[in-house]
Amino acid sequence: MKFRSGCYERQWVENVVALGNSGGFVEPLESTALMILCSHTQTIIDFLLHTGLQPTDTIRQLYNDLTLSGWKDIRDFLAIHYKFNGMLDTPFWRQARADTDVSGVAELIKFYQENGPTGFCRYRLPNTQTDFGLEGFLVMFVGNQVPYRNRHKPTPSELEIWKKHKAEFIQQAKSGIRSEEALAYVKHPGWKWNADS
Ligand SMILES: Cc1cc2nc3c(=O)[nH]c(=O)nc-3n(C[C@H](O)[C@H](O)[C@H](O)COP(=O)(O)OP(=O)(O)OC[C@H]3O[C@@H](n4cnc5c(N)ncnc54)[C@H](O)[C@@H]3O)c2cc1C
C-alpha cells in the first residue's frame, strides 16, 4: 500500500491547528499516531489556557517547534528499526538496511557502538524531550543485536541482582490480567479513569 509520509513544518498557522492525521503521518510501526495526537492536544490546551485564549506569535512558534521536533524524533526512532533489523533477508529489508538515513541519530549510534548499552547513551539522544526515552532506544539496539565493542562482563553479585530482578518480573507477569479482563473493568459502569476522579 502506498501512502504519503511526513508532517507539516507548521502545525499551527494563525487560527488553524492541525492535529492527528491532518498534521502528519509516519507509519504504523511503533503505533505513534495516538501518542502524538494526545501529546499535541495536551500541549495546545496548555498553551491556550496559559495565554488566556489570546495566543501570541511566540507561543505559536514554540508549539510549532515542539511538535516538529516530536515528529522528527519519531522519524529517527523508526529509522533505527529499518537500519538494524537483520531478521529477514529480502529485497525490501536489504534496501531498508542500505538506504535508511540514520544521520539524525548518528552520534547516538556511534556512542553505542563504542560503549555499549550504558546509561550514558542518554547524553547522545537526539532530543532530550523524546517520548521513547533512553530505554526505548536501547531496546532497539539490544533487541536488534547492534554490535558494540565494549562488552560488560557482569560480576557474580551483579548476576545475582539480575536473577532477582528476573524472578520479580516473572512473578509480576504472572499476576497480570488478560485483555478480556482489562476490557471488562473498563466497560464496567462503575469504572472511572484517574482523570475523572
Ligand atoms: C485498524 C487501525 C488500528 C490502529 N491502531 C493504532 C494503534 O495501535 N496505535 C496508534 O497510535 N494508532 C493506531 N491507529 C491510527 C490512529 O487510530 C489514527 O492515526 C488516529 O485515530 C487519527 O486520529 P485523527 O483524529 O487524526 O483522525 P480520525 O480519527 O480519522 O478523525 C477524523 C474525523 O474527521 C471526520 N471527517 C472526515 N471528513 C470530514 C468532513 N469533511 N467533515 C466533517 N468531519 C469529517 C471523520 O469522520 C473522523 O471522525 C490505527 C488505525 C486503524 C485504522
Sign of CA dihedral 185, 37, 81, 111: negative
- State the Cα angle at 62 between 38 and 60, rounded to 5°: 85
Domain stops at, among 120, 143, 166: 143
| Amino acid 130: pLDDT | 85
Atom of ligand 1 nearest to the CA of 25: 19
Q: Do 132 and 167 reside in the same domain of the chain?
A: no
Give me the mean pLDDT over the 52-72 stretch: 95
Show the domain range for 173: 156-196
pLDDT higher than 90, residue 131: no
Band of residue 78 on the pLDDT scale cut at 50, 70, 90: very high
Better-predicted residue by pLDDT, 116 or 192 = 116
Q: Do 12 and 58 reside in the same domain of the chain?
A: yes
Flag whether 168 is in a domain: yes
Q: What is the pLDDT of residues 5-52, one digit of tens each?
A: 899 999 999 999 999 999 998 876 778 889 899 999 999 999 999 999
pTM of the model: 0.80
Flag whether 108 is in a domain: yes
Give me the mean pLDDT over the 154-159 stretch: 96
Atom of ligand 1 nearest to the CA of 36: 11
| Amino acid 194: pLDDT | 75
φ, ψ at 25 (rounded to 5°): -150, 130
| Sequence letter at residue 89 | D
What is the whole-number distance in angstroms between the Cα of residue 40 and the centre of ligand 1? 15
Better-predicted residue by pLDDT, 167 or 151 = 167
Instruction: Tell me how long the chain is.
Output: 197
What is the whole-number distance in angstroms between the Cα of residue 189 and the centre of ligand 1? 26
- Best of 31, 35, 38 for a ligand 1 pocket test (most atoms within 8 Å of beta carbon): 31
Q: Do 81 and 167 reside in the same domain of the chain?
A: no
**Ligand 1 site residues, Cβ closer than 6 angstroms:** 20-22, 31-35, 37
How far CA 132 is from CA of 54, 78, 104, 182, in Å, comes to 32, 11, 15, 25
Q: Do 37 and 126 reside in the same domain of the chain?
A: yes
Q: Do 137 and 176 reside in the same domain of the chain?
A: no
pLDDT higher than 60, residue 196: no
Flag whether 148 is in a domain: no
Bridge partner list, 7: 24
Q: What is the pLDDT of residues 82-126, one digit of tens each?
A: 999 999 999 999 999 999 999 999 999 999 999 999 999 999 998
Q: Do 25 and 86 reside in the same domain of the chain?
A: yes
Q: Do 105 and 190 reside in the same domain of the chain?
A: no
| Amino acid 195: pLDDT | 65
| Amino acid 71: pLDDT | 92
Flag whether 63 is in a domain: yes
What is the number of domains present in the chain? 2
Say how many Å lie between the first and final Cα of the chain, rounded.
Answer: 43
| Amino acid 121: pLDDT | 96
From the list 69, 71, 46, 77, the residue with the least C-alpha distance to 59 is 46
Give me the mean pLDDT over the 162-169 stretch: 97
What is the whole-number distance in angstroms between the Cα of residue 20 and the centre of ligand 1? 8
Q: Do 23 and 115 reside in the same domain of the chain?
A: yes
What's the chain look like in SS3? CCCCCEECCCCEECCEECCHHHCEECCHHHCCHHHHHHHHHHHHHHHHHHCCCCCCHHHHHHHHHHHHHHHHHHHHHHHHHHHHCCCCCCHHHHHHHHHCCCHHHHHHHHHHHHHCCCHHHHHHCCCCCCCCHHHHHHHHHHHCCCCCCCCCCCCHHHHHHHHHHHHHHHHHHHCCCCHHHHHHHHHCCCCCCHHHC
Flag whether 149 is in a domain: no
